[in-house]
Amino acid sequence: MTIYDISKQAGVSIATVSRVLNGSENVKPKTRKKVLDIIEQCGYTPNVFARGLGLNSMKTVGILCADSSDIYLAKAVYHIERNLKTAGYHSILNCTGYDLAHKKEGLSLLLNQRVDSIIMVGSNFISENEKDNQYIRDAAKQVPVMLLNGDLDCENVFCTMCDDYKSMKEVTGRLLSQKIHDILFLYHSRTYSSMKKLAGYQAAYVSMDLPLSKDLTCFFNGSHEDIDGVCDYLCNLHDKGLRFRAVVAADDMLAVGAVKYARKMNLRIPQDIKIVGYNNSILSVCSEPKLTTVDNHLELLCSQLVKTCICTLGGTSQPAKTIFSGEIILRESANL
């Protein structure tokens, strides 16, 4: 079933069928109706490969994501896909893992598919080592690249992010104001976003003229689902003599690990130890007690990102960076 079959049955040329298909004005209403009827009746749908070949686009964007099974990234992918679909675009998903070589591989796979744009989901795609961002710059020479929670100054790269620095500074500052000066900062990746959070944590101390202890900046080197591992890690630190009356974590999973630690140590939350999570994920409500956490308005970020993407593809100039503020969600694990 091709455009030729339709044109024959309708007694018109393929050009006319094509015009009808593409909603051109220059078709006599009567002709349009006849063609439309036959298309309907035959259940004909245009061949997207042929159309793609002619237009050099299949209205598809590539979503690059290290791990779409991660609670937070999964939500991002979901919202991005839904927004893209609304705008008439298809989503090719490519999960790369956290290894740079595989990220490059995934990216080139998508570019070879001739996607109209690339969306990189998660700050882990940006490295502190500028050399490791070159593959993104290269990609941007071919198609517009959208970064969710990543920051890169580059032509044709658009960044949509949450101000993690500000949120974390605010959270830490509130704890410091409560005379809690021994706050442990807990993170488990060195992504752009994590580094911003760390900077915010440190800035809070500095702005209040309080001394920072290196020992309280703690990196958990484990899986992003290993709650027990986090608990053990903290117990270990405690055994080594480290003391702290609060934990601010780079994500909710880490915070839940801290909650488990507190229970194990028979510390009351929040009286003896305050714990703050990040992302306002389902884990923060699942936890007992529930986590005070930061909501970075992911859904909003995603819809803005897709808007930027679509507008860019449509040829209207867009801001290189869009930054939203997070929001502190007060629950039981810390009264800020």
Partner DNA sequence: TTGTAAGCGTTATCAA
Partner DNA sequence: TTGATAACGCTTACAA
d(CA 150, CA 230): 26
d(CA 4, CA 325): 54
Shortest gap between Cβ of 56 and DNA (angstroms)? 7
Of 2, 22, 24, 113, the residue at the interface with its own copies (CB under 8 A) is 113
At 102 the three-state DSSP class reads helix
Of 74, 87, 176, 323, the residue at the interface with its own copies (CB under 8 A) is 74
User: What DSSP designation does 290 have?
Assistant: P
* 260-266: long-range pairs with CB below 8 Å, 24+: 260/227, 260/228, 260/230, 260/231, 261/230, 261/231, 261/234, 261/235, 264/231, 264/235, 265/235, 265/238
11 binds DNA (CB under 7 A): yes
20 binds its own copies (CB under 8 A): no
Owner of token pair 């998660």? 122
Residue number with CB closer to its own copies (93 or 328): 93
Shortest gap between Cβ of 41 and DNA (angstroms)? 15
* 205-212: long-range pairs with CB below 8 Å, 24+: 205/172, 205/176, 207/169, 207/173, 208/173, 208/176, 208/177, 210/176, 210/181
**45-104 binders of DNA (CB under 7 A):** 46-47, 49-51, 53-56
d(CA 287, CA 252): 9
Shortest gap between Cβ of 138 and DNA (angstroms)? 19
Stretch that binds DNA, among 18-26, 102-110, 149-157, 247-255 (CB under 7 A): 18-26
Of 18, 178, 304, 322, the residue at the interface with DNA (CB under 7 A) is 18
- Residues near its own copies, by CB under 8 A: 45, 47-50, 52-53, 56, 58, 60, 63, 67-69, 71, 74-75, 77-79, 81-82, 85, 90-95, 109, 112-114, 225, 227-228, 253, 256, 259-260, 263, 282-283, 285-288
- Which spans of this chain sit near DNA (rule: CB under 7 A)? 2-4, 11-16, 18-19, 21-22, 25-28, 30-32, 44, 46-47, 49-51, 53-56
